[in-house]
Structure 1
């Protein structure tokens, strides 16, 4: 098998994005554009990947990490000049080099694989990934001769009137014989409207040296979109969203309104899950079969169990069991575990806590830094008072306990198994097993006193 290498062009600042964030780090469906590119290149079993960085180099390195080697393009003098920066790593190697742009997050592994297969099958020195564009404005044109062979690529700004009528465009992705590429780069000049060293000029140089140049045309122009501004970023987001949602639907997931459902690429969803409109599922979330998510819910890095229902709620970095009912308007904060059959109702917040099987906090409660056993009932308005302004403390509520409405549990404190806490209590000491704890002021009724107060106000 021929050795394979990749060069990712990621040195441009992206001034049209009008952003402090380096262009290729702008996210598409929650993942930086350049990471999408690497994800699709990875299955090619590349021998080496080199990313050309410039502005924001350290941030790009932090994102990509050990998935690539890096070289810095100190001055941005064009795509040809960018590839030349990789010569110290690649120029002596033999094999196929694929050159891709870090701002083309939609090109799939299938397209990359087909491009390389075509290139190697033709024994070409260079192969251009092309597409037909209804509006080719801004794109380099692929110029063919009478025999339909590729002769050269002309940048839009350098094209004459006849060349501007060509609709076959250069997508900016290429395959090269590695040795031929670096030999031809020596001949590239900057005699053009931009005064830059264009990588596409390599095509004409190779042709003039009697080297074979071919083109592989993808039938999906939208896939080749290069993101240069916020408008294109939104288009990429929409296309990626549609692609992800269709994948899940074909795998047996019901997405009621795909246009208004956002699922990140790494999310795993089992068949027979139903996702309602306005739902966002992010990160490494796993949604088990028969769950119902939404409407208007956000799930971030969570495992959601079978037949669990989450409505109008937010959950992050937590594990939620089977047959759990969450919401509406609940908040499951990080490091929480919700046991099978539990209920977390409206306006309930769970933070860094374990809620055992069959336990319920049905409404208007805060459970933070707590260990809640099984079959516990937490009444409306209950608060685990976990923070003294300096440190946070644990509240333990053992199995089968009943916490009355409007109770404050002042941590650290333990509510024993099977015990009751009377409504309106402020608990500051441990409650023994099977005990009833009442911690509230004794009620006193002063008959007729309200009338006296009213009469004073009149006077």
Structure 2
């Protein structure tokens, strides 16, 4: 399929009241523009062009970060003067020398459009049935959308903007323009220059192509969205919240169809790029974001946030923040655990209550049960870390590693001052400060002598009277 997607992302987005580009605002942890680009890619578009304008550098950087090594690459064209959607498409056609094939024009603030909708949209012009097609929908609240007027044969006549609708048209024309168009590329290139800025805003409007193509004797059709959510755009913070709720609803319903359980699907926010296995249970107030993969039969949440992580089978992740980590099978975390980037917990290991782990490997069956910090550490199998123990990995300038062997027992309130290595089967006495390497099988103790002064309390009381 030779299809080009032109994604319009140059608008100011003034109603967002933001210092950032509208299309960079996130839904379920993913910027809006990436939702649209990924949908176009999944639909099979061989070329993707994003028209940038307001906050152009911010949008370019966002796209480059995500797509710089992917095929097809995402091209950008800057609309330095924002003179309307027709002008944006015209400069994209000229800058990228598009004169043939199918061209689908999408809005960058249309995050819920699905790949199947785009594919059918492209097919409507690729089959030569139409020179152009308009994406339409019937939302529950049509106010604010342009209305599609059709003749008695069901052919589109024109698009009437909300502000131009008569009361009768407002009440009776329920088919709405979603603001997306598909064109035969040759016909689009031939007629795009016919759009005129003869309106109050002195802008070139892409919807005018409907009447231009019809006047040239070409057929223009509609593609009705079976799911109206595909055509909903974002223009304000309130609409951003509404679209987020709809996205959550759609994603969670699909996951439940695939065997995932939600205690309350209204209180779980799952990224569109996340994967969750069957028989996993998602508890309330859980966020699974980014490209997270969760395997089967896990308990996730409540009050948990997982980003860009891999979770194995049969894991329990309770009241945990996990950022770019890997948990193998049967790992237990929380409640109130903080797992930072680079953490790798092997099968059967545990990070307990009020535990922070950073850039460390926790060996198979090893346990960090409570009130501890483990950083820049390689830990062997079946290790037990006592409460309140810390790897002191930072000297104020550099980070240093700690190596802990297999079957090590670390007593409570132990400081391990890196760089340091503790051998297999070693025992560390509670309340020790370990500054030197500990050999295999050794007992390490570091304590000052305990002093007892009899009668001290009574003597102190007499001195203060």
| TM-score range for the pair, normalised by the shorter chain length | over 0.9
Q: 1:111 aligns with which of 107, 111, 117?
A: 117
2:158 paired with 1:140: no
What pairs with 1:244-263 in structure 2 (closer than 5 Å)? 244-263=251-270
TM-superposed deviation, 1:142: 1.2
Structure 1 gaps of 5+ residues are none
TM-superposed deviation, 1:198: 0.9
Provide the C-alpha distance between the structure 1 equivalents of 2:437 and 2:185, rounded to a whole number of angstroms.
74
2:122 paired with 1:123: no
Provide the C-alpha distance between the structure 2 equivalents of 1:329 and 1:34, rounded to a whole number of angstroms.
34
Name the structure 2 match of 1:335: 342
What pairs with 1:116-265 in structure 2 (closer than 5 Å)? 116-121=122-127, 123-165=129-171, 166-265=173-272
Provide the C-alpha distance between the structure 1 equivalents of 2:74 and 2:346, rounded to a whole number of angstroms.
41
Judge conservation of contact 1:375–1:399 (CA < 8 Å) in 2: yes
TM-superposed deviation, 1:86: 1.8
Judge conservation of contact 1:312–1:327 (CA < 8 Å) in 2: yes
Judge conservation of contact 1:301–1:316 (CA < 8 Å) in 2: yes
Q: 2:78 aligns with which of 44, 58, 72?
A: 72
Name the structure 2 match of 1:282: 289
Name the structure 2 match of 1:14: 13
Provide the C-alpha distance between the structure 1 equivalents of 2:373 and 2:47, rounded to a whole number of angstroms.
52
* Runs of 4 or more above 4 Å deviation: 89-92
Change (3 A) 1:322 1:92: closer
Provide the C-alpha distance between the structure 2 equivalents of 1:248 and 1:233, rounded to a whole number of angstroms.
22
TM-score, normalised by the number of residues in structure 2: 0.94
Provide the C-alpha distance between the structure 2 equivalents of 1:367 and 1:445, rounded to a whole number of angstroms.
34
Q: 1:403 aligns with which of 395, 410, 413?
A: 410
Provide the C-alpha distance between the structure 1 equivalents of 2:439 and 2:150, rounded to a whole number of angstroms.
88
Name the structure 1 match of 2:302: 295
Judge conservation of contact 1:386–1:395 (CA < 8 Å) in 2: yes
Provide the C-alpha distance between the structure 2 equivalents of 1:15 and 1:121, rounded to a whole number of angstroms.
39
Judge conservation of contact 2:329–2:346 (CA < 8 Å) in 1: yes
2:363 paired with 1:364: no
Deviates more, 1:429-438 or 1:22-31: 429-438
Q: Deviations over 1:97-156 (max 9, x none)?
A: 111111111111111122233344461111111112443322212122343321111222
- Report the 3-state secondary structure (helix = DSSP H, G, I; strand = E; otherwise coil) of the residue aligned with 1:85: helix
TM-score, normalised by the number of residues in structure 1: 0.95
Change (3 A) 1:436 1:8: same
- Report the 3-state secondary structure (helix = DSSP H, G, I; strand = E; otherwise coil) of the residue aligned with 1:200: helix
Provide the C-alpha distance between the structure 2 equivalents of 1:72 and 1:392, rounded to a whole number of angstroms.
44
Q: Deviations over 1:65-103 (max 9, x none)?
A: 353222221111111111111232466622221111111
Deviates more, 1:365-374 or 1:445-454: 445-454
Judge conservation of contact 1:157–1:193 (CA < 8 Å) in 2: no
Provide the C-alpha distance between the structure 1 equivalents of 2:122 and 2:393, rounded to a whole number of angstroms.
59
TM-superposed deviation, 1:162: 4.1
Provide the C-alpha distance between the structure 2 equivalents of 1:94 and 1:333, rounded to a whole number of angstroms.
49
TM-superposed deviation, 1:4: 1.9
Deviates more, 1:139-148 or 1:155-164: 155-164
Structure 2 gaps of 5+ residues are none
Name the structure 1 match of 2:32: 33
Aligned residues, how many?
A: 457
- Report the 3-state secondary structure (helix = DSSP H, G, I; strand = E; otherwise coil) of the residue aligned with 1:186: helix
TM-superposed deviation, 1:264: 0.9
Judge conservation of contact 1:91–1:182 (CA < 8 Å) in 2: no
Deviates more, 1:370-379 or 1:445-454: 445-454
Judge conservation of contact 1:135–1:167 (CA < 8 Å) in 2: no
TM-superposed deviation, 1:283: 1.5
- Report the 3-state secondary structure (helix = DSSP H, G, I; strand = E; otherwise coil) of the residue aligned with 2:206: coil
Provide the C-alpha distance between the structure 2 equivalents of 1:45 and 1:306, rounded to a whole number of angstroms.
33
Change (3 A) 1:120 1:387: closer
